[in-house]
Chains A and B, each alone.
Chain A
Amino acid sequence: MMKRIEAIEVVAQEAESQGALVICNIGFPSRELYAVHDSPANFYMLGSMGLASSIGLGLALATERRVLALDGDGAVLMNLGTLATIADQAPENYLLVILDNGCYGSTGCQPTCTCRKADLAEIAKGAGIADVKTATTPEELRTAVRGVGAVVARVDERNADVPVIALTPKEIKDRFIEECARPSP
């Protein structure tokens, strides 16, 4: 199975070639993104679990830039209403990428409902998101990340051994806002 840090690297490479802004989920996903591809175009969440997809939606509605939100199964389950709101607004510059490892990876890998019965791709479709793709390999993910709507990528539950993010919240925000203000590359 694809490691999450591999999936994050694919998304980061695609984000760079698309000139996209990236909102990244709290915990190890942000640390892994910071380790593989730090950029002012990355917004690393340090709190407010569950809101990556909402921050991404708000940003996509505010800018003409392309926006990717990098979220997790536990976080999306915490804010399922977000899928209905994303479907309702359906901005054409927005893609929600859910890296589904079936557990709360940053707190000791306690299982989430997706490791048993819940299917986030079907939930996203049911919420009304028109284009929902699934990916299990880096190649499938790379293709899917070029679309809009949502992608659910199954990844391994392990975290990579990566350092904490050496930026203050204000540093993360200030350079991100500066990047957001630039026109689409």
Chain B
Amino acid sequence: MRPGISVYKGMKRAGIDLVTSVPCINLQDLLGLVESDPAIIHVPVTREEEGAGICAGAYMGGKKPALMMQNSGLGNCINALASLDELYELPLLMIISHRGGEGETIVGQVPMGRRTPRLLDAMEIPWFAPSPAEAEETVARAWEEAEAGGRPAAVLFDIEFWMSE
């Protein structure tokens, strides 16, 4: 199965119905699935922090929101994750293409890529890095954790994940 489909199925199982996104080449397939799903409101945003804000408002209006982005975007939304989501106890599912590891061809992805897990740890945000076989289950569980804890949860998908079939 295409790896993007496993992630998409997990989001559907969780009931995600509003998605904000900043693209990554590795999210291309998943973005297409989300965009063509009439049950999901898809809001492409200009910067990841904006996406976190939209997701917070959408949650208060009754939606189950997710933010899809590259790990570089985590740096662009750190303040919102703390002073909006954590402060008000708002759940958020983050679907993150994790660049900068094995197989990376762009040197600029390496500095943020190698710090991404530690940044999430510093933010006390639970994170998961499933295999393609585990992805559907893990994505659904990450949302459940976010909702139960009233906080963000992240699922990281590295280059190897997207290379698998």
Contacts and interface: CB of A to CB of B under 8 A. Distances in A.
7 contacts: A46-B87, A48-B79, A58-B53, A58-B58, A58-B59, A62-B58, A79-B49
B41 interface: yes
Contacts of B82: 47
Given A58-B55, A62-B61, A65-B61, 14 more contacts: A48-B52, A48-B79, A48-B80, A51-B80, A54-B51, A57-B54, A58-B59, A60-B61, A61-B63, A62-B57, A85-B46, A89-B43, A176-B60, A181-B62
Contacts of A62: 18, 41, 57-63
Nearest to B65: A58
Interface footprint category on B: 20 to 34
B145 interface: no
Nearest to B56: A55
Contacts of A170: 88-89
B57 A55 contact: yes
A15 to B, nearest CB: 16
Interface of B: 18, 20, 41, 43-47, 49-63, 65, 79-80, 82-84, 87-90
A173 B3 CA distance: 36
B53 A54 contact: yes
A142 to B, nearest CB: 25
A11 B143 CA distance: 36
B60 A47 contact: no
Given A58-B57, A61-B58, A62-B57, A46 B83 contact: yes
A57 B43 CA distance: 10
A58 B56 contact: yes
